[in-house]
């Protein structure tokens, strides 16, 4: 039987993992943004679904393979599932659970995402993460333009006008013997190879093409191929091709946070937490996210507290953090900001210690108006720079508002249910 110690050996890096039985047969393959966090989530059998609990009872070994990025992990996982067909990857019993990328058989092959396969398309997959797959295709399309139009047009489509296809693939009457037809077929071939995990083959082909173009003094075309190589490498390194400029005032504030807490870099992602309950009843926890100094509301999360004993804010906070860390698909923050004092700070650090995570935690005490960062280290809020004080209070107040709003809804629903009895 696998234990927490087996999982703690995994790195804090993207990759794929394999559960194997005593004979070495692969039972299940999964991917993770953070291998250690994902595998540690299997250490608590009560927190996982019945199908995976059965798999864990059979598993005797766990192995992993590091990848450069989540995108590479997605593609590696799809290739491995197709190759080994593990019995606990339900995709082979129900294709609707996962996605495939389909390639049309027409002259200018359309590329679509589909849940089910049919004989009119060539498919690559299965892919287990719809969001990551769409991100891959969106990024790839900027490098290798392709057609997604469902109908042919007499005029250029909007995608052609913004450079996302080759201005010929969806025309009703495309010109004969056009050089763009060759380019389109080359693009489709490259996309297929990338999605099959043959990225290095694509890069080698592009590098060879670039050298030949330079040798023949076609420098403009060589430069375009060079840009394709750089863009493709950037996708798999998760490097931002275009990084949004930060607001100068927010940068100043984030630099102050960095200096105050001794962070290695400015905290781009800060997560704020709060607990709301009335004598332990209908307790809820909230997680708010501030990215680059501003609320990122699409990343906010709410937790219904499962803790059933006497009211205990610290135990409830630990529950919320444990459940949050099981979501390795959520990016880890540069700073955890907890509503509370030294007790809450120690509780949060204990949870992070279970996952061997060395992340910065601070606790903001309302009553004393103090910021706790260590057992004997705290700052009076009134002594902080105004912009720094505003940011910390904004995060705390937003977490409190989000939790209280949800708590009130739960109380109202409970009161309505009782009145109806």
> Domain coordinates of the chain in residue numbers?
4-86, 95-197, 248-413
Among residues of the chain, what percentage have pLDDT more than 70?
87
Compare 47 and 171 and report the one with higher pLDDT.
171
| Residue 278, CA distances (Å) to 44, 217, 241, 367, 371 in order | 29, 76, 48, 18, 25
> Could you give the CA distance from residue 17 to residue 278 in angstroms, rounded to a whole number?
42
| 379 confidence band (pLDDT: 50, 70, 90) | very high
Query: What is the side-by-side order of every strand in the sheet holding 15-20?
Result: 26-32, 15-20, 61-66
Query: Does residue 288 sit in helix, strand or coil?
Result: strand
The pTM assigned to this predicted structure is 0.59
Q: Which fold has domain 248-413?
A: Nucleotidyltransferase; domain 5 (3.30.420)
| Region of poorest pLDDT, from 45-49, 121-125, 142-146, 334-338 | 45-49
pLDDT tens digits, one per residue of 151-191: 777 777 766 666 667 777 777 777 777 778 888 899 999 99
pLDDT of residue 214: 92
Pair of tokens at residue 22? 């005593």
* 126 alpha-carbon distance from chain centroid: 18
Query: Does residue 339 sit in helix, strand or coil?
Result: strand
Average pLDDT score over residue span 2-31: 93
pLDDT tens digits, one per residue of 231-267: 888 777 653 333 344 567 888 899 999 999 999 888 9
Average pLDDT score over residue span 340-356: 93
pLDDT tens digits, one per residue of 75-121: 899 889 988 999 988 644 444 557 889 898 888 888 888 877 777 78
pLDDT of residue 287: 96
pLDDT tens digits, one per residue of 352-365: 999 888 899 999 99
pLDDT of residue 412: 65
Residue 26 has pLDDT above 50, yes or no: yes
pLDDT of residue 249: 82
Tell me if 4-86 shares its fold with 248-413: no
- The CATH class that applies to domain 4-86 reads alpha beta
> Could you give the CA distance from residue 417 to residue 411 in angstroms, rounded to a whole number?
10
| Region of poorest pLDDT, from 289-303, 338-352, 398-412 | 398-412
């Amino acid at each position: 039987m696998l234990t927490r110690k087996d999982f703690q050996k995994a790195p804090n890096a993207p990759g794929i993992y394999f559960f194997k039985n005593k004979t070495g047969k692969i039972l299940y393959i999964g991917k993770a943004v953070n291998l250690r966090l994902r595998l540690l989530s299997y250490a608590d059998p009560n927190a996982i679904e019945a199908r995976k609990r059965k798999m864990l009872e059979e598993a005797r070994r766990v192995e992993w393979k590091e990848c450069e990025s989540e995108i590479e992990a997605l593609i590696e996982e799809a290739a491995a599932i197709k190759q080994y067909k593990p019995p606990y990857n339900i995709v082979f019993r129900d294709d609707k659970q996962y996605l495939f990328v389909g390639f049309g058989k027409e002259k200018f092959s359309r590329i679509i995402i589909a849940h089910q396969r049919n004989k009119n398309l060539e498919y690559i997959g299965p892919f287990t993460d719809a969001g990551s797959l769409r991100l891959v295709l969106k990024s790839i399309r900027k490098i290798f333009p392709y057609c997604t139009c469902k109908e042919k047009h007499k005029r250029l489509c909007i995608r052609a006008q913004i450079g996302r296809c080759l201005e010929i693939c969806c025309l009703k009457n495309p010109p004969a013997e056009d050089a763009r037809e060759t380019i389109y077929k080359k693009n489709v071939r490259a996309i297929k190879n990338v999605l099959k995990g043959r990225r290095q083959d694509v890069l080698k082909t592009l590098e060879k093409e670039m050298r030949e173009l330079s040798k023949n003094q076609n420098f403009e075309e060589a430069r375009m191929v060079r840009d394709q190589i750089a863009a493709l490498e950037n996708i798999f390194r998760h490097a931002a091709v275009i990084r949004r400029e930060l607001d100068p005032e927010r940068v100043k504030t984030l630099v102050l946070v960095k200096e105050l807490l001794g962070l290695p870099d400015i905290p781009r992602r800060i997560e704020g937490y709060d607990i709301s309950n009335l004598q332990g009843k209908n307790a809820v926890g909230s997680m708010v996210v501030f990215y680059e100094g501003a609320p990122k509301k699409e990343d906010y999360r709410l937790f219904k507290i499962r803790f059933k004993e006497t009211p205990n804010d610290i135990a409830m906070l630990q529950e919320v953090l444990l459940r949050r860390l099981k979501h390795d698909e959520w990016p880890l923050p540069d700073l955890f900001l907890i509503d509370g004092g030294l007790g809450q700070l120690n509780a949060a650090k204990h949870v992070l210690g279970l996952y061997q995570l060395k992340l910065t935690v601070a606790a903001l005490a309302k009553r004393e108006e103090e910021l706790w960062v260590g057992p004997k280290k705290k700052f009076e809020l009134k002594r902080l720079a105004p912009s720094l004080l505003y940011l910390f209070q904004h995060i705390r107040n937003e977490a409190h508002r989000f939790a209280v709003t949800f708590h009130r809804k739960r109380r109202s629903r409970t009161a309505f249910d009782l009145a109806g009895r």
